[in-house]
Amino acid sequence: MSDKEIHDVVMIGAGPAALTAAIYTTREDIDTVLYEKGVIGGLAAVTDWVDNYPGFPKGISGLDLAQGLNEQAERFGADIRLGEVFKIEEEGKLKKLTTSDGEVYAKSVLIATGSDYKKIGVPGEQEFYGRGVHYCATCDGAFYRDKRLVVVGGGNSAVQEAIFLTRFATHIDLLVRGDKMRASDILQQELKSHTDKITVRMNTTTDEIVGNDEGKVTAVKGTDKVTGKPVEFATDGVFVFVGLSPNTEFLKETDIELDEIGMVVTDSSLETSMKGVFAAGDVRSGATMQIASATGEGATAALMIRKYLEDVEKHVMTPPVPAVADVTA
């Protein structure tokens, strides 16, 4: 056992939920390691502006919020590693995690892998990924200064990111599959103030992303659902915002219960079906997909992990009472 790398808790992911949990655990001297395979701060870090996080009356950039959480967790001693966890297994009273660093053991685990951008699954999407097809306006929008763009989606993210992209693009066609927007009323009102640059195309599907021989996107082909006729929009790039899917592929072959869309099922203490393994944030079944609720769940998970570790330690330290032999004849 001495040659194994063992920690009190390993957190998978380093978004708002995990970073908040790490602030709580490390302040109580709970040995804490976080693994993040993407961007520290998760999707919050690549969100242009956060207007609804408590304590920031003028709003705060997603990157600044993520950096603040990161620095605070590290100040208390969190060990944040860039790497990936591929598998979780029970091994006695420990959890064995197969990671990009090798095998790591933990007394408890927090799954906080969040969610990723959904794909629309049309021809050209995969072929032009990163070369004209994008899922993060703050990451890639600046490449399209004085260019035309297509944004796909009708929810909050699509509208918010389309508005952000007006900083760079000369014109944006916003393709909405349905006959009504799913974005909040506030965002829809804000959208109306950008009609000089954004044209909303209701009842319009996205059927194909096409490009030229140089490997550059040139247009999006779709269908007008009202007339049934094909439509085409000239563009230099496509930004897709059609929702999120949970990052739980690595859990598919474990005993950890997932719901019908692949999110992690927990009880009221945020513990999963595998004892000692907890989940918080956008990966958890029933999550509200808000940064504020993710940080709240992270704090709750940390307190539940502390209680779990205390109960385990108490059980280890207290020897079992020997059974009294039945000597009656």
Catalytic sites, residue numbers: 136, 139-140
Q: Which residue has the tokens 């007394």?
A: 107
- Largest alpha-carbon pair distance within the chain? 96
- From the list 118, 111, 48, the residue with the least C-alpha distance to 294 is 111
Q: Which amino acid is at 251?
A: L
Q: How far apart are CA 153 and CA 120, in angstroms?
A: 10
Q: Which residues pair with 150 in a beta bridge?
A: 173, 238
DSSP codes, 38-56: S-TTHHHHT-SEE-SSTT-
Q: Pseudo-torsion of CA 34, 37, 38, 44, nearest 10°?
A: -30
Q: Quick one: tokens of 35?
A: 């693994």
Contact 33, 123 (CB under 8 A): no
Contact 176, 149 (CB under 8 A): no
DSSP codes, 233-294: EE-SEEEE---EEES-GGGTTSS--B-TTSPBP--TTSB-SSTTEEE-GGGBTT----HHHH
Residues 6+ apart with CB under 8 A from 329: none
Total count of residues recorded for the chain: 329
